[in-house]
Amino acid sequence: MSRYEEPETREIPVPGFARRPGGPQRRPQAQPPRDASGRPRRPQGPPRQPPAKPPVRPPEPPRSGGGAGRAAVRTFGEVLITLGVVVLLFVVYELYVTNLMSAQLQREASAALDERWSQERELHADLADGTAFARIYIPSFGADWGFTVQQGVDGAALEVGPGHYKETAMPGEPGNFGVAGHRVGKGAPFNDLDLLNSCDAIVIETVDSFFVYRVLPMSGEVAGWAQGKARDPRCANVAPLQDEQGAYDETFGRVIVTPDRGDAVAPVPYKPESTLPPASQAALLTLTTCHPQFSDRERLIIHSVLTNQFRKQPGAGYEELLREIGEA
């Protein structure tokens, strides 16, 4: 035997290893875990995460008192807004809708007046309420400014256009031909009445004539009238009505009065009817409307005096009249 002998090799049995014939030993494979019944367990995935919880809102601070007060203020504010909307709608109705409605009524009244004039030859005083019997023109407001004049001054008549105070004189007669008209809404025929000056013309057309009235001198013009505006050719037949008798001492071109002064359209304005006999009365035209604009607190009065009368001629109309009186 050699000095170094090969140690004896022994096989040590290892569970799960089996010797391959003619080859190296194979490592035992790990056995899957089994349940109590001996069946392999199903592999499990990564552990489930619990669902995310919603963020926790911080607790609201305790409310102070006054909840009822805030509710009352909010309700009051809503009421104010509602009232504002209602007022706005009313203004739109008064300024625009009623103008459109009155414009249509005015067209119908004008057509009916032309039809009546084609069958009549003279003006009749016994007119039914609301009947159009004349036209009014104010040249300084434009050549196309004109409205029919209805009998009466009730709401229905004034919705169509200017209305005649039934108890006053007729056009061209001695006394006072009184006419009322709206200043805002319903056509607003007298909207610019405050712009009239002394000697401005106001023309009334009837079935057979044109009557030319001119605004009387204003209160501040009476003293120096002869040396001042009286020299204007348009003022040739216009003079202050104030005289020694004092019958017309309150009658000026423009007057502001309270609504209770119905005597502004009296035969002699602001005087009893017995002040002067009809033969001594001037032939006046008085226009009345509300004042100031958008209010009925007062009345704006325009007094004018008859200066000319022109009988209608075939083929001659309002345009020809304007040239005749120097207003074209």
pLDDT tens digits along 248-269: 999 999 999 999 999 999 999 9
- 137: its two tokens: 């023109």
pLDDT tens per residue, range 137-195: 999 999 899 999 999 999 999 999 999 999 999 999 999 999 999 999 989 999 999 99
Q: What is the CA radius of gyration of the chain?
A: 51
Q: Which pTM was predicted? A: 0.74
SS3 assignment, position 324: helix
Alpha-helical regions (H) of 93-154: 98-117
* C-beta of residue 109 within 8 angstroms of C-beta of residue 132: yes
- 27: its two tokens: 């490592």
Query: CATH for 88-324, among 2.40.50.140, 2.60.40.10, 2.40.260.10, 2.40.10.220?
Result: 2.40.260.10
Higher pLDDT, 47 or 71: 71
Residue ranges of domains in the chain: 88-324
- Which amino acid, residue 140? S
Nearest C-alpha neighbor of 94 from the set 231, 262, 283, 295:
295
Partners of 254 in the beta sheet?
Answer: 302
Nearest C-alpha neighbor of 178 from the set 190, 194, 160:
190
Q: Report angle CA 289, 171, 282 to the nearest 5 degrees.
A: 85
Q: Does an H or E element contain 291, and which?
A: strand 283-291
- Which amino acid, residue 44? Q
Q: Chain-wide mean pLDDT for the chain?
A: 86
Q: What is the mean pLDDT of residues 291-305?
A: 95
